[in-house]
Structure 1
Amino acid sequence: MKRSAAAPGSGAHRITIHDVAREAGVSIATVSRVVSGNPQVNAEMVGLVRTAAEKLGYSPNSAAQGLASGQYRSIGVVVPDLGNPYFNDILKSTVTAAAAERYRMVVSDSGGDPEEEFNACQQQLSQVDGLLVLSSRMPVERLHALAGQQVPVVLVNRVELGVALPMVAADNFSAMLELCQHLRDLGHTKVAYLAGSPLAWQNRERWRGVQQARIMGMEASLIQADATISAGYAATDEALAAGPTAILAYNDLAAIGVMARLRELGLRVPHDISVTGFDDIEVAQHATPPLTTATSPKAELGRLAWELLRAGLNGERAPLPPLLPAEVVLRSSTGRARPPRG
């Protein structure tokens, strides 16, 4: 008795190219060429295969298509922390633009570890058409290695001179300097900077902005923290020991952790001490009090990253965009510096 193909989604039998070839009366190689979009297959064969595939409910496996055609219709993405909404905000516009051209995203989380990041990139490169690396922590030597790959790679929020990779980033230095100017205008002359990962280009640029504020008469202490709520919370006591009237956190998540610890200590923001963040994630405007921060142009970063990657996919070289401005947003977490106690 002849076996009939199971209905799509029944789970009884997965339809394969063998089934399609049998139904169409052609070879498996012909089905593979049609599925991969080989233009050398004649129209009659294409029609037979497509009719059989539609009848059986065949859906080609994207990995198999990629092996056959050299195109996976997939874009790899490597981020240091999927728990940080900042990266999701960047990817929204990228996902939308890529989907319009029938690409899907394959996302890996490196945990902020440079070796894990490089390994994730290597794994992705074997199964994607292009790769986006967000806020990379890898040493420059690894970036040079990525630049030598045939698969196009784009760096987002990292700028390294001499590395032959397309890059798009926000101007972290100027925005942080503007935040310092805002605090200086409020009378703050002694601040603490809660740093992110020392491996992060964004952290280096933000600390450079804080250091530059010395020309305004502002003294800054560097306190090692990280880009999470818990890291900001844990570093608050050490920051307070330095005697600042304001705390500049590496990002909004760390700033939220700072404000939580300050409330536990009975300190009022901004009456007793001012706090700033960076990135302007959605929760920043809903914090208590709403957070003064810098708006990183997340949607624009995602859009430009896709444009650079798409150019690479087409074998083109798009002009590199200038650093995107990050605008300071003034809210209620900053106020006049309190007078010295005594």
Structure 2
Amino acid sequence: MQVFAKLAELGSFTKVADALQTGRPHVTRTIQDLEASLGVRLFQRTTRKVQLTAEGERFYERVKAILATIADTTAMFDRSGSTLRGRLRVDIPTAFAQRSFMESLRTFTLAYPDIDLVLGVTDRTVDLVAEGIDCALRIGQLPDSSMVAREIGTATMVTCASADYLTAWGVPDTVQSLGEHRGVNFLSGHNKRPLAWHFSIDGEDLPYVPSVGITVNESNAYVQCAVAGFGIIQAPGITVESFLAKGELVEVLSDLRPRPRLVSVLYPSRTHLAPQVEAFVDWLKAHFPVLHPKWFSAPQR
């Protein structure tokens, strides 16, 4: 039933095999055996598409309810840290793949030692269902989707550049003076457009599009471009903290720091969360503001 439900959702034997981390022949054989045991055809198959038959639609509605009931029943005694177990696939942005964040994340694995944490790190937009990801952390405004999004905190943003760049180009003291400077643009993962910088002036948000010297689509490369002297960047403080401490990057326009960017955890929209996913989401909600107090804080209301 789990294989059947996943194929109904994804419409691809290959995607189901990837999501369940099994072989495509196993998925095919499972569906064939299921259809044979029921005596009905559940899917119409073409070279390009797999879709439910009318019988398959009716069966899917019942299967969803059955699987939800089973998940809820089997988890009723299994929600404490000492007994909670299973695989948990989490995707985080590259900006969070820092030592301080990883050390804090370690406290979750200590609290739930039987959960097998699989951590993905990417700045691209991921398809949680198709890629078998249980939940994902994301920074900033989220695109419209069917995913459930829970606000867990905010991340402080820093505008900075290398000391060598500032020596050569001067230190900007107003947003207007940025017009005389070069910037590094970061390409958004969901709409493929460069992200605007933001500044806070008298409590008002002022977006700004920099004059571009180079555009990148990965957080580490973005920071390294600033260190190399390509121009000014605006990035989450956690990603540039070590470079600021060593003087390789210098903050500018600190009095105009933008409103901290929202950090959310996303997971597929469904009534019954797997207990390990629910535990992780709850843990994030409670612990995110203290994962790095200097750069993270509770959601602003």
Whether TM exceeds 0.5 here: the answer is: no
TM-score range relative to shorter protein: 0.3 to 0.5
Question: Structure 1 or 2: larger helix share?
Answer: 1
Q: TM-score, normalised by structure 1?
A: 0.35
Question: Structure 1 or 2: larger strand share?
Answer: 2
Find the structure with the greater CA-based Rg: 1
Bigger relative contact order, structure 1 or 2 (CA pairs below 8 A, ≥6 apart): 2
Q: TM-score, normalised by structure 2?
A: 0.39
